[in-house]
Amino acid sequence: MSLSLQSPSSTFLSSSSSSSSLAKSRLRFANVSSSSTLLFKFNRSFPVIRASSSSGFSSSLDTGLSTELDAVSSFSEIVPDTVIFDDFERFPPTAATVSSSLLLGILSLPDTIFRNAVDMALADSGCSGLDNPELRLSCFCNKALVNVGGDLAKLVPGRVSTEVDARLAYDTHGIIRRVHDLLKLYNEIDVPPQRLLFKIPSTWQGIEASRLLESEGIQTHLTFVYSFAQAAAAAQAGASVIQIFVGRVRDWARNHSGDPEIEAAIQRGEDPGLALVTKAYNYIHKYGHKSKLMAAAVRNKQDLFSLLGVDYIIAPLKVLQSLKESVTAPDEKYSYVRRLSPQSAATYNFTAEELTKWDQLSLASSMGPASVELLAAGLDGYVNQAKQVEELLDKIWPPPNV
């Protein structure tokens, strides 16, 4: 599977919040929260099925050996949850996400390669001519997102995902209008819709917006999925990408109780986050939905090994670096196993309740406290970031050269 533009399954995406520092001309956004930034995919060598861990990544280049990263990449698309803007040669980006988090990082460092895109947004006469301050700031934000997204589209061969304002999460028509507005702006800078995805929270209203947008041929990415009901409803809506946060579900389970879906997984001896990805994957593939599944908030190697076969895995840079530095050889004893596959999905059994045609009532009644609380927390984080961007733009508008 490839993330290239030519592949019909190509996608992007990850989640991390931006904390930045300027040193040796490097801008790095570290993985600390739920917002999305630019993604990289490591280049692969030929697929390796049998592999084992050892040290000395550099020696593998000399001996023809491969690495653990090569081995696992033969099962799933692996992308790191960190951005290094000036290190494209080492980590060539194939796709990207533009978000309020990314704009905050750009605004905090005036010398980034994307700062001109933000400044051009602030110089837009159509936005600056609006009398209503709220509408003017919203216009600036949309222009900034699209200008940065347009720059990213020139740097990556795959798709660029654009975050939709989380304050619209419970407004289906508001989400659709915003996506249409963003599409119009992208069209003005000659970025075709085939290069774009739109990141929408998985409220019922967001899922319904995804369904309507996908029916128009507009590609969507549903995020903040923390329950099977959300994942199944998103698949029925035809979302292009569905993102599940493995580690956050596990974290909730460690500190809370009372969620039937999580407790059922624990009683089966399963990790609730990994179990949710497995169940969602099996549902998508058993019933022929087009959606691609992304596992995010993967915390360690064991998480990654347990998810091999899922379409996309977002992992911390430290995990990927460990995989990259571990040499593997075809004749060694340890064999990687594809945990998720269409064949295994075909044998998975679902209850009649799980096979329902999801609507707003059934979704609300099936979402347990974990998904309700985690969804609310994710939305709060996105809303706060959007407000911070507006506050910063308001402080620096008009720019000195306008």
Catalytic residues: 199
Whole-number Å distance between alpha carbons of 116 and 100: 16
Residues 6+ apart with CB under 8 A from 127: 121, 136, 139, 140, 143
Identify the bridge partners of residue 242 per DSSP, sorted by sequence position: 222, 293
Whole-number Å distance between alpha carbons of 398 and 369: 45
Q: β-strands 292-296, 312-315: how paired?
A: parallel
Whole-number Å distance between alpha carbons of 15 and 65: 32
The H or E element spanning position 142 is helix 133-155
Q: Which residue pairs, CB below 8 angstroms and at least 24 apart, start in 340-343?
A: 340/277, 340/278, 340/281, 340/282, 340/307, 340/308, 340/309, 340/310, 341/285, 341/309, 342/285
Contact assessment for residue 368 and residue 88, using Cβ atoms and an 8 Å cutoff: no
Distance between start and end Cα atoms, the chain: 46
Contact assessment for residue 138 and residue 391, using Cβ atoms and an 8 Å cutoff: no
- Taking the CB of residue 54, how many other CB atoms lie within 10 A of it? 17
Identify the bridge partners of residue 163 per DSSP, sorted by sequence position: 199
The H or E element spanning position 212 is helix 204-215
Contact assessment for residue 153 and residue 160, using Cβ atoms and an 8 Å cutoff: yes
164 secondary structure, DSSP code: P
Radius of gyration in angstroms for the set of CA atoms belonging to the chain, rounded to a whole number: 21
